[in-house]
Chains A and B, each alone.
Chain A
Amino acid sequence: MKRLSFISGLTIILMLLLVSSGFCIWTARTLSGEIDQLISANFDAIRALRGLRASVARIDAEYRVATSVSEISHARQLFDLERKEMEKSMAFFQRSSDQPAVARLQASIKDYFTYYEEYFALGKSDGDRFKVLTRSLASSSSNIADASGAIMDINDDVILAHRAAAMAKGRRAIGIALGIAGLSLVIYIWTSIRLTQGVFAPLRQLRDSIVKVSQRQFDMIVPLEGGEELKQIATTFNQMAAELRAYVAESDQRVVGANRVSRAILEALPYPIYIVDENYAVRLMNPRAEMLSVALEIPGALPGAVRKSIDEAAALGCELIDDDLKRAIEIPLPDAPAEAPPTYLPQVFRMSPAPDASAGWAVLLIDVTKLRQFDLAKTKAILMLGHEVKTPVTSIRMTLHLLLEEKIGALTPDQRELVTVGRDDCERLLTVLQSLLELARHESGRVTMKLTPMAPADLLAQAEAMHGEFVRRSGATFAIEPMPPALPLVQADAIHVVRVLGNFLSNAAKYGTPGVPVAMRAELRGDGFVRLCVRNHSPRPLSEAEQARVFDPFYRRAGENAEGSGVGLTICREIATAHRGRIGVWSDDNEVEFYLDLRVVSPKQIEHITHVSGSPIAAFSGNA
């Protein structure tokens, strides 16, 4: 369509240009023909007239000065010649003899010739006739000159008139040419506008459609206009929009479906779930959570104990997803038995509760009331048994020590051997008992961690101060390796971390190659942890299977005598868990390294702690 109008527009312009050129050429040719005709006609007439006048002048001059017979004869000859010339010139005017001036000229020339014939017949003699003839000749010559002049004037007039006509024609031709050019220009502009509109209108529509699509309105269709390429683009675009429309509809359905499923799960789940924003305002909760809040007489709000768990996650900068019963919270409900209050293990996830909320949390409260009761009963039983057994074992030990001193009485060699075996077993029993009690205290959560920002160097120095001597006494050399400068502060309970390092050191002293240095060091890990580790050379490195089990309670390596309680590393693992840290061991062909990874304190946490409690890190930070 557009192409047709473009071609038709161009054709019209071309035709107009052709017409205009043809007209101009025709006008030019007409004018030049007219001018040529005019010029040639007038030029011949003027030349003939000039010839006439010259002949008259020559005849007159020749004859008037001729005095002798020979001179007259010569003048006669000249006259004849000139007469012929003059008659030839007069023949030119023959066609226009109807004009008065030409008629007058012809009459004058005829008179002139007649007078001269008579003149030559008379010869040169004075007489009246001669005088009359002379006057008549003079008059004829003068008439010829006058008539010639009149004809010339006529010629001038004709030339001027033709010139004016030619100029008028020329002007008209220019006007017509300009008009056609103007018309061409108008047609050109009109065609261009039509053409431009034809190209840009579909593009504009395409652009509008893209904007709509970006605003998630997929129902606008681009019309199939413009050139083939534009049509292709429009078709492709419409296809894309249709696919998007289908996809969005499908996604919407899916979202709705997923939402229904999520809601169904949330509602069917037997555990309360709260989804809160940063300010603990509840954005979403399931029926169980609603029931719990109502039972606590705080409908629609988050229980205070749960809030503490979120605070803990925020302080640690991580989610709390584990089965660590130590984190369980008791929520005493009015109608619940006081000896077994409902206990929940909060699982705290990061979650944005709504598009307008920057961050928030989801808390799933797993009901661990029964599990907690069992766990408490187990711990209570262990602790009670431990205490009840410990006292008699203590006194048995005292007794055996006293007997072996032989201050009360001498022993026979057999008695001594028996009592020694008894004392050693008693020592072991006490060690195991104490460790078991400690493990039970850790597992029951009775040992609380007080996490404060600590410099890793301080922790190592403290461990060296407390346990270095023991390592050196065992015969190993011991050193803290140089540390990278500016290690960040870590979240640590110094007492328990030093305890863990002490355990590592004691293992290194016990199982390391005697005389080979034991090294302790701190290093920054890439994932937000600082690693504190103890490395030693070992004659019996740990296999991978052993590395995996070495932290299990009462685990002993094959062929290893039962030294130690068997739960030291298990307690270390409990401590690491309470720090939300990591604990582990690696071993190669001849070295063993135990490590404890502690979380780096974020600047935000330092700011928070300093703001809340003054200056917690000032105490020992200068020790590094």
Chain B
Amino acid sequence: MSPAAQLPLFRGMPESGELASLKAFPHESAPQILVVDDEASVRLGCVMALRSDGWRAVGEASSPAALQRLTSGNDHYDVVVLDYAMPELDGLALAGVLDPQTRPPILLASAHADGAVALAALRLGIWDFQAKPLVPDELRRRVQRLHTRARDAAVPTAWMPRALQHCQRGQWADALMELRALPEAERTETGELLIGLVCQLAGDEAGAREAFHRARWWPDWHRQGGEIWAELARRLG
């Protein structure tokens, strides 16, 4: 039982099956989102926010149960909104079990991300982050971007979505090739930031330093997780 559930405000709220009581707006063919969060109120909020925007959203309180859903093959999910801090299996541990080549794109949500978490998440190919507290519009925008990334990547000039797709799968060399396809003069600061991050993950410290310099960003991996995430999220839009 989560501490939040003990507060009077949430007393009596159903722990499961709450979605049945909600009015189902979305169409059957709408993209399906899985929201994994042990906090009932947060989970409910996310589901409501997405469903009210026309998505099919499903909440899951327990991470092992969510793992079961994702690996059973019975359901297809277009995007997973994953809380980091959960009992039993945390968000990164859950993501780590999944095959990066086949798993749905993941949006990691966390209130307190430190440098180690950020670095571990990036290594796992989780490049999309949502800082808590959540605002409905931001959540929708990020889910939307993750969902359409595969479609966007098909456009020949869309090198950024393609690169991010490679990043999601941990294919650093391919990602770098995409990111460096543009001549230096035409690269945006966001592109440079991505190059820096990929270089850092691939172990190319000098390349990372140079790219961060051009991106006008000076990250500190060991202390600055939340800010690295925030900056990445800000630049990605």
**Smallest CB separation, A70 vs chain B (Å):** 167
Given contacts A405-B136, A407-B53, A408-B52, contact A398 B42 (CB under 8 A): yes
Q: Does the CB pair A394–B48 fall under 8 Å?
A: no
Tell me the total A-B contact number using a CB cutoff of 8 A.
79
Given contacts A395-B39, A397-B133, contact A407 B218 (CB under 8 A): no
Q: Does the CB pair A398–B135 fall under 8 Å?
A: yes
* Docked CA distance A401–B213 (Å): 38
**Smallest CB separation, B142 vs chain A (Å):** 14
Is A315 an interface residue when CB atoms closer than 8 A count as contact?
no
Q: Does the CB pair B220–A495 fall under 8 Å?
A: yes
* Docked CA distance A283–B211 (Å): 52
* Docked CA distance A397–B133 (Å): 8
**Smallest CB separation, B132 vs chain A (Å):** 6
For A449, give the chain B residue with the smallest CB separation: B223
**Smallest CB separation, B10 vs chain A (Å):** 7
Q: Does the CB pair A405–B213 fall under 8 Å?
A: no
For B134, give the chain A residue with the smallest CB separation: A398
Within 8 A of A (CB), among B78-133: 111, 132-133
Q: Does the CB pair A398–B133 fall under 8 Å?
A: yes
Q: Does the CB pair B3–A402 fall under 8 Å?
A: no
* Docked CA distance A393–B7 (Å): 12
Is A575 an interface residue when CB atoms closer than 8 A count as contact?
no
Within 8 A of A (CB), among B214-237: 216-218, 220, 223-224, 227
Is A14 an interface residue when CB atoms closer than 8 A count as contact?
no
Q: Does the CB pair A405–B52 fall under 8 Å?
A: yes
When distances are taken between beta carbons in the complex, the residues of chain B under 8 Å from A450 are: 220, 223
**Smallest CB separation, B9 vs chain A (Å):** 6
Q: Beta-carbon contacts of A375-403 to B below 8 Å, as 1s and 0s? A: 00000000000011011111111110110
Q: Which of A22-30, A118-126, A615-623 contacts B (4 or more CB under 8 A)?
A: A615-623
Size bracket, chain A contacts = 20 to 34
* Docked CA distance A620–B49 (Å): 42
**Smallest CB separation, B221 vs chain A (Å):** 11
Is B202 an interface residue when CB atoms closer than 8 A count as contact?
no
Given contacts A392-B9, A450-B223, A623-B213, contact A401 B42 (CB under 8 A): no
Is B31 an interface residue when CB atoms closer than 8 A count as contact?
no
Q: Give the contacting residue for B45; candidates A399, A407, A430; CB below 8 A.
A: A399
When distances are taken between beta carbons in the complex, the residues of chain A under 8 Å from B42 are: 391, 394-395, 398
* Docked CA distance A405–B44 (Å): 16
Is B19 an interface residue when CB atoms closer than 8 A count as contact?
no
**Smallest CB separation, B234 vs chain A (Å):** 10
Q: Give the contacting residue for A388; candidates B3, B136, B216, B220; CB below 8 A.
A: B3
Q: Does the CB pair B52–A495 fall under 8 Å?
A: no
Within 8 A of A (CB), among B113-167: 132-137
Count residues of B near A (Cβ-Cβ below 8 Å).
Answer: 32
When distances are taken between beta carbons in the complex, the residues of chain A under 8 Å from B217 are: 465
* Docked CA distance A393–B218 (Å): 32
Q: Give the contacting residue for A394; candidates B133, B137, B223; CB below 8 A.
A: B133
**Smallest CB separation, A395 vs chain B (Å):** 3
Q: Does the CB pair B136–A402 fall under 8 Å?
A: yes
Q: Does the CB pair A395–B53 fall under 8 Å?
A: no
Is B41 an interface residue when CB atoms closer than 8 A count as contact?
yes
Is A494 an interface residue when CB atoms closer than 8 A count as contact?
yes
* Docked CA distance A465–B44 (Å): 37
For A427, give the chain B residue with the smallest CB separation: B133
Kindly name the residue among A398, A399, A450, A494 whose own CB sees the greatest number of chain B CB atoms within 10 A.
Answer: A398
Is B209 an interface residue when CB atoms closer than 8 A count as contact?
yes
Q: Does the CB pair A391–B223 fall under 8 Å?
A: no
When distances are taken between beta carbons in the complex, the residues of chain A under 8 Å from B213 are: 619-620, 622-623
Is B173 an interface residue when CB atoms closer than 8 A count as contact?
no
Q: Does the CB pair A462–B218 fall under 8 Å?
A: yes
Is A577 an interface residue when CB atoms closer than 8 A count as contact?
no
* Docked CA distance A399–B44 (Å): 9
Is A461 an interface residue when CB atoms closer than 8 A count as contact?
yes
**Smallest CB separation, A623 vs chain B (Å):** 7
Q: Does the CB pair B45–A398 fall under 8 Å?
A: yes
* Docked CA distance A244–B218 (Å): 66
Is B4 an interface residue when CB atoms closer than 8 A count as contact?
yes
Q: Does the CB pair A392–B223 fall under 8 Å?
A: no
* Docked CA distance A40–B41 (Å): 166
Is A251 an interface residue when CB atoms closer than 8 A count as contact?
no
Within 8 A of A (CB), among B1-54: 3-4, 7, 9-10, 23, 39, 41-42, 44-46, 48-49, 52-53
* Docked CA distance A387–B7 (Å): 13
**Smallest CB separation, A423 vs chain B (Å):** 10
Q: Does the CB pair A392–B48 fall under 8 Å?
A: no
* Docked CA distance A506–B135 (Å): 23
Given contacts A402-B52, A408-B48, A430-B133, contact A394 B216 (CB under 8 A): no
Given contacts A399-B45, A494-B218, contact A390 B111 (CB under 8 A): yes
Q: Give the contacting residue for B135; candidates A387, A401, A461; CB below 8 A.
A: A401
Within 8 A of A (CB), among B193-225: 209, 213, 216-218, 220, 223-224
Is A5 an interface residue when CB atoms closer than 8 A count as contact?
no
**Smallest CB separation, B26 vs chain A (Å):** 12
* Docked CA distance A623–B49 (Å): 43
Q: Does the CB pair A395–B45 fall under 8 Å?
A: yes
* Docked CA distance A205–B217 (Å): 80
When distances are taken between beta carbons in the complex, the residues of chain B under 8 Å from A391 are: 3-4, 39, 41-42, 111
When distances are taken between beta carbons in the complex, the residues of chain A under 8 Å from B216 are: 461-462, 465
Of all A-B residue pairs in the complex, the 8 with the closest CB atoms, nearest first, are A395-B41, A398-B45, A394-B133, A407-B52, A465-B216, A395-B42, A401-B136, A395-B45
A-B contact list, 30 entries, CB within 8 Å: A387-B111, A388-B3, A390-B111, A391-B42, A392-B10, A394-B111, A394-B133, A394-B134, A395-B4, A395-B41, A395-B44, A396-B9, A398-B42, A398-B133, A398-B136, A399-B45, A402-B48, A402-B49, A402-B52, A405-B52, A407-B53, A408-B23, A408-B52, A448-B223, A450-B220, A462-B218, A465-B217, A494-B218, A495-B218, A495-B223
